[in-house]
Every structure is written in C-alpha cells, then in structure tokens.
Amino acid sequence: MNDAKKRMKKILLAAALAFTAFACKDNEPVVNAPPKDMLTVFGVLNANDSIHYIRVGRLFLPESDAVEAARKHRDELNEAVVVLTGGDTTIFFARVDTQRADGLFPKDMTVFRGFGFLKPNTTYRLEVSLPGGLKVKARTTVPNPPTFLFPPETFVYPGNVEGWYPYNFQSNSLSVSFGEKRRGVSGQREVRPSAYEVRFFFRYGTTPGVYDQEIVYGPTGPPFSGDAGQCPQKYGASTWEYEACFNVGRGFLNHVMEKLPQGAVYADQAPFNLSTRIEITAIDTFLYNYMRANAPNFEDFTTVRPEYTNIEGGLGVLGSVIKSSRYANWSDCSRYLARINNAPRPSGSCQ
C-alpha cells in the first residue's frame, strides 16, 4: 500500500511539472495595464533656509524597453519649468542633478534648485510643467515657528554672570515646553503646525578649543502632534493659547554618553557657548500626512498602505517646515556624567 501511494505521488508531481512547462512556454512578460505617464514631485520647503530643492521625475508604464524610456523621459525634463509663488515672492528653479549612493538604481536624480526667502503663515503654490502639456500643481502653507517657553533661555549664575540656562540632562523628568499663537496681531488666524519634531545637537572635540565633531539625538520616533503633547502646566499664561511639551528625560544624556569616544572630551563651556542646541521643527499638514502614510509601522506584508499625495495631476508631496532653536548649558552633574572637560563630581547627589 505504501509503495502504491509513493508511485501515485510521483505521477501527480510529474503531471504538475508537465502542466507548468506547457503553461509557461511563453516567458515574455505581458502587461495588460495601459501605458501611463505622469510627473512625480517631492519637495520640503525649509523656511529657515534660502535655498530650496524640488525633485522631479516621471512615473511611466511603457510598452517598450523601460530603461530606454527612462533615459528619454530624463532628457525631456531639461525643458521642465518649475515655479513657486506665494505672497510677494516668485522663485524660478533651475535643474541641478545629483546622484544617489552607489548600489541604488537608478543612480541619477533630477533635482531643481531655487533661491528665495519664505515667510511663515504664507501659502506657496508650486507648478511643474513640460512643453507637451504635462503639468502638476501643489501647495503648502508654511506654519508659524514654535516659541520656547520652558526652560528659559538665560540664567544668572553666581557672580551675576549671565549665560544659557543650565539643563539637568540627567533628570528623568526633563521636558521642553513651547507655545503657538492662535491669532495674529491683526486678528487673522495663524497656521498651527500639524506636528513637531525635537532634536538635540552636541558639538565636541578631542582637542581643547577644536570642536569639529557632532552628535545628533532625535527625532525620537515619529513626529508627535501637539494635541498629544499638551503641557499639564501653563507657562505662558494668557499670552499663549496653545502649548505643547516634549518629554526628554535622560534620553539625550544617555545617547551622548553612548556615542562619545573614550578618553578626554572637550566642549565650549563659555556662558554663551554654541556646543549644545535644541531644535524644534514645526511640520505642515501635507508633509505630516505623507509621513504618517509612509511610516514603517505595518505589522505584516499583507497590510495595505494608504496612498497619500497632494500633487494635483501627479504623485509625491510638497510640504514645508520651520524651525526654532535654543542653546543650552550643561549642569555640573550632567557634565560630570558625560565626562566633558574632565568635570569633577559635584557635591551632593549626582547619578
């Protein structure tokens, strides 16, 4: 009986292989979808910078060779017109191509660069067009910059010496509070960001006076919405109608301690030094929606990602950000724990 079952399995396997061979005798791929041709546009406008970049590409499904079609479309982008307008500003972009890192295909990227200053609470409209009539449009509204509320910017040290506020980076309850105005002086409703990111920057060196290395901490996870980070304590009283907090804890200190090399580490410790900077980035609605839709938080490969774009007539995203920065000093205990400037252990508890 067992031998008969084995022979039957062999016969069925042979029949399946034969069917597969006949069914796949034509190994040329057949594309049933109609040919498509549209523009892809990706750009994040930084209101803190005067140089802006827009990446433009072609999304196509040709019936001919894809590599040849990509080369042809890339040449056609030489005639693309890229213009950004908003308020009293018009920015014309010029093509300045760049390349990806080795090992990625295609390596060349078509990028357009423009120069101009952007204003917060202002809507900017982008238009990308080709001579053949292919055109896409997009818009973004630059949010207002967040304003630091706590800790304060400056601090008076013993001897009546003023400097940046000394942060206790070793505190588990360390947080950064910032506020947003909801209405302008004229009564016009201002643009509130959809989300925020917080980063810490620390410049140091291994030679006194030479601070040529940097450690970046953050953003710690996906952008957080202001509604999810409201402060239990109001620092701005009636001046600010909206406040948000970002809980740092010991995260920044632990990250610095992990990344610093063994041995002597030096950083500028003048009262007003530039070694440690805290940066809050306000993110507009379109960019935040795109980041949420493409966040790598799906559970399995069968999850269907939502498709998001604010490019009219194409794919991609046009967003904007604006940043606020504040410098900080390290408390005596924080410097000791991070082994900065051979700081001695301060008196009292420090851990």
pLDDT (0 to 100) of residue 201: 95
Side-chain half-sphere of 72: how many Cα atoms within 13 Å?
A: 10
pLDDT (0 to 100) of residue 15: 43
Q: How far apart are the first and last CA of the chain?
A: 75
Asked if residue 288 is part of any domain, the answer here is no
The secondary structure element, H or E, covering residue 174 is none
Give yes or no: residues 111 and 76 share one domain: yes
Give yes or no: residues 135 and 158 share one domain: no
Give yes or no: residues 185 and 331 share one domain: yes
Side-chain half-sphere of 257: how many Cα atoms within 13 Å?
A: 14
Give yes or no: residues 161 and 110 share one domain: no
Asked if residue 297 is part of any domain, the answer here is no
Contacts of 58 (CB under 8 A, 6+ apart): 37, 38, 39, 40, 70, 73, 74, 76, 77
Query: Tell me, what CATH number does 82's domain have?
Result: 2.60.40
Domain boundary (107, 142, 177) is at 142
DSSP label of 266 = B
Domain boundary (86, 116, 142) is at 142
Instruction: Give the Cα separation of 280 and 200 in Å (integer).
Output: 9
- Tell me if residue 221 falls in helix, strand or coil: coil
Give yes or no: residues 80 and 181 share one domain: no
Give yes or no: residues 169 and 60 share one domain: no
Number of domains in the chain: 2
Asked if residue 5 is part of any domain, the answer here is no
pLDDT (0 to 100) of residue 59: 74
Give yes or no: residues 197 and 96 share one domain: no
pLDDT (0 to 100) of residue 263: 84
Domain boundary (92, 113, 142) is at 142
Give yes or no: residues 200 and 264 share one domain: yes
Nearest to 254 by CA among 170, 142, 153, 179: 170
DSSP string, 227-259: GGG--SS-SSTTS-SEEEEEE-TTHHHHHHHHH
Instruction: Give the Cα separation of 283 and 104 in Å (integer).
Output: 29
Asked if residue 7 is part of any domain, the answer here is no
Give yes or no: residues 118 and 154 share one domain: no
pLDDT (0 to 100) of residue 47: 96
pLDDT (0 to 100) of residue 304: 64
Asked if residue 306 is part of any domain, the answer here is no
- Residue pair 231/177 in contact by the 8 Å Cβ criterion: yes
CA distances from 285 to 76, 98, 289 (A): 32, 28, 6
Neighbours of 95 (CB within 10 A): 15
Instruction: Give the Cα separation of 13 and 314 in Å (integer).
Output: 48
Give yes or no: residues 332 and 183 share one domain: yes
pLDDT (0 to 100) of residue 228: 43
Asked if residue 209 is part of any domain, the answer here is yes
Neighbours of 229 (CB within 10 A): 19
Phi first, then psi: give them for residue 252, nearest 5 degrees.
-65, -45
pLDDT (0 to 100) of residue 7: 47
Instruction: Give the Cα separation of 165 and 163 in Å (integer).
Output: 6
Residue found by looking up tokens 């803190």 in the block: 48
Asked if residue 11 is part of any domain, the answer here is no
Asked if residue 310 is part of any domain, the answer here is no
pLDDT (0 to 100) of residue 241: 58
Give yes or no: residues 201 and 224 share one domain: yes
Neighbours of 220 (CB within 10 A): 17
Domain that holds residue 213: 147-282+322-338
Q: Tell me if the pTM is above 0.85.
A: no
For the chain, 351 residues long, give each residue's pLDDT as a single digit of tens. Answer: 445 445 444 444 444 444 444 444 444 544 445 556 688 899 999 999 999 999 998 776 666 666 676 667 777 788 899 999 999 999 999 998 776 666 555 567 789 999 999 999 899 999 999 888 889 999 999 988 888 887 788 999 988 899 999 999 998 878 788 876 654 444 444 556 778 888 999 999 999 899 999 999 988 665 665 544 555 555 554 555 567 777 788 889 999 999 999 888 999 989 999 999 999 998 999 999 898 887 765 555 556 666 789 999 999 999 999 999 999 999 999 999 999 998 999 988 898
Give yes or no: residues 76 and 108 share one domain: yes
Instruction: Give the Cα separation of 69 and 50 in Å (integer).
Output: 35
Burial class (CB in 10 A: 0-12, 13-18, 19+), 129: middle
